[in-house]
Amino acid sequence: HWKKLLAENEFLSAPLLVAKQLKYYRKNNRNFTQGKNNNSQKVLSPPTERSLLAEAEYLLLRIYLHCPKYRQDVKSAMEARDLQFSLSHNRFLWKQIIDVENMSEYQITDSDDLISKLQDSYLDAPDKLSEVEHLFHLDEKAKRNLLRAPLEIRSAIAAIELIMCKKRRSAVLSMWQNTDLSTDSELAKNSELAKKYQEKFYSESEWIKELERLRITTIYDLIQVPLGELSD
């Protein structure tokens, strides 16, 4: 897709065209969200990057707390993609979970047992508990979401990595745009550098498309992954 755009707009520099196209996509997305005219029903603004990240991290933590069967799957998925919890209160909770498990004389396989120990671990940091306490309880909607934990893990991991990937792509585009090709003395060196940035940009863009796909649960996914239980 990007290569076709470049071929059709040879009068523009590659990074300038890419930046222009990304801006066009974002503008169109905002226009679609806001509605086509002022008389249309007001539509909620798209979620922010932070809210998407928070929801994905909350989902992984809920699964870990309430679905003992899938705890190793959460750990393995995060390790495989080299992901960490970004939000400080989630990072602190994850540290508490690991500490509680490491200090326990037995493997904690019961959700209530783990949550009880975690609540005790927050006695010295009550101000931090309020930010994550909602994860210790499940409403009916949350319970339904966890019935297909493997799909939820996949979606949450993809959402977290998608945010990181878009940041990397933005950084690469910025470096690509700032590569100086105007001076003969640095032309060969900077041309090679620009090529590397270009390849990295295309690579990140392709992976973003794949992550967008992995975030979405399809009918085929629902058929392939049966409903499970919250505990095992």
Q: Residues 197, 157: one domain? A: yes
Show which of 104, 119, 147 is a domain's final residue: 147
Residue 31 lies in a domain: no
Sign of the alpha-carbon torsion through 209, 211, 217, 222: positive
pTM of the predicted structure, to 2 decimals = 0.75
Judged by average pLDDT, the poorest of 2-11, 45-54, 115-124, 211-220 is 2-11
Show which of 123, 147, 171 is a domain's final residue: 147
Could you give the dihedral angle defined by the CA atoms of residues 116, 119, 123 and 127, in that order, rounded to the nearest 10 degrees? -170
Show which of 125, 147, 169 is a domain's final residue: 147
Residue 40 lies in a domain: no
Q: Residues 138, 57: one domain? A: yes
Domain hosting residue 75, numbered range? 49-147
- Rounded Cα gap, residues 18 and 103, in angstroms: 52
Contact between 75 and 85 (Cβ < 8 Å): no
Work out the pLDDT band at 31, boundaries 50, 70, 90. low
Average pLDDT over residues 27-36: 50
Q: Residues 67, 126: one domain? A: yes
Q: Residues 85, 125: one domain? A: yes
Q: Residues 168, 114: one domain? A: no
Work out the pLDDT band at 163, boundaries 50, 70, 90. very high
Q: Name, in order, each residue with C-beta under 8 angstroms of 56's C-beta and a sequence gap of 6 or more.
A: 155, 156, 157, 159, 160
Judged by average pLDDT, the poorest of 97-101, 117-121, 190-194 is 190-194
Average per-residue pLDDT for the chain: 80
Checking if the pLDDT of 72 tops 60, the result is yes
Q: What angle is formed at CA 88 by the lines to CA 151 and CA 56, rounded to 5 degrees?
A: 15
Q: Residues 121, 157: one domain? A: no
149-177 and 184-215 are packed helices; what angle lies between their axes, rounded to 10 degrees? Answer: 160
What are 79's two structure tokens? 């390790």
Q: Residues 155, 143: one domain? A: no
Checking if the pLDDT of 95 tops 90, the result is yes
Q: Which residues of 105-132 are buried (b: 16+ CB within 10 A; e: fewer)?
A: eeebeebeebbebbeebbeeeeeebeeb
Which of residues 35 and 11 earns the better pLDDT score? 35
Selection from 74, 58, 71, 231 nearest residue 133 by Cα: 58
Residue 176 lies in a domain: yes
DSSP class of residue 108 equals -
Contact between 146 and 156 (Cβ < 8 Å): no
Contact between 160 and 55 (Cβ < 8 Å): no
Q: How many domains does the chain have?
A: 2
